[in-house]
Amino acid sequence: MPSECPNCGMVQPEHADWCPTGKSSEPVPKPTTESVFAPIAAESSALYGVKGWLKFFVVVNLYIAPVVYVLNFVVTLIGFSILAEDYPAIVLVGLIELGVSGFLVVKWILIARRLRDIQPGVVQEAKTWLKIALGWVILSVPLAFMSGMDAEDLLPDAIKGVVLGLIGFAIWYSYFNVSKRVKTTYPDWHE
């Protein structure tokens, strides 16, 4: 297998010991068996590929979350139409929440497709968007209270939403940081 001269960068013939340009007095390094076969070893590993919990994450974000969002969208619009007479601000608050949630669902579909297709940089993107989604969960709490509804009625659902958001974030952020499958399937997982 050809290698490059460390000084001039010229690709050397397969069996060259010295750079023919004469710019280096050092021998040309030979690729090691480990460096040549590392990608092959990763792909042949039982941990390589979109399987197990990684597949669960991809399937949920690619297929289940969009269906749940559409159903939630319809139910929410019906609820807004009923409550709008007593709480006019709920329409604006609801449209903001539905818009941001819809954007996040689309973003997670795109990330799930990239995870499924094992594209570079997708693990870092997923971790970034997990942080953004958690931020939205926290920011949506005061937004709900701007609807004009009684705080006593909104507080239990707000607390539940934040707790579930924190649990989901903790599980999946940790998974993308420590999973052997993620490390084997996506060599750039830590960059």
Q: Is the pLDDT of residue 187 over 70?
A: yes
pTM for this prediction: 0.72
Q: How far apart are CA 96 and CA 79, in angstroms?
A: 15
Q: What confidence score (pLDDT) does residue 36 get?
A: 44
Cβ atoms 155, 141 nearer than 8 A: no
Q: What is the mean pLDDT of residues 90-113?
A: 94
Q: Which amino acid is at 45?
A: S
Length of the chain: 191
Kindly state the DSSP code that residue 63 receives in the 8-state scheme.
I
Q: How far apart are CA 57 and CA 172, in angstroms?
A: 9
Q: Kindly report which listed range (29-38, 45-54, 66-75, 178-187) carries the lowest average pLDDT score.
A: 29-38
* 45 contacts: CB under 8 Å, gap ≥ 6: 184
| Residue with the larger pLDDT of the pair 128 and 7 | 128
Q: Structure tokens of 2?
A: 């050809």
Q: Is the pLDDT of residue 116 over 60?
A: yes
Neighbours of 103 (CB within 10 A): 11
| Residue with the larger pLDDT of the pair 153 and 43 | 153
Burial of 163 (0-12, 13-18, 19+ CB in 10 A): exposed
pLDDT in tens, 159-173: 999 999 999 999 999
CA distances from residue 18 to 31, 33, 36, 45 in whole angstroms, order as listed: 14, 20, 21, 36
Q: Which residue has the tokens 């709008």?
A: 84
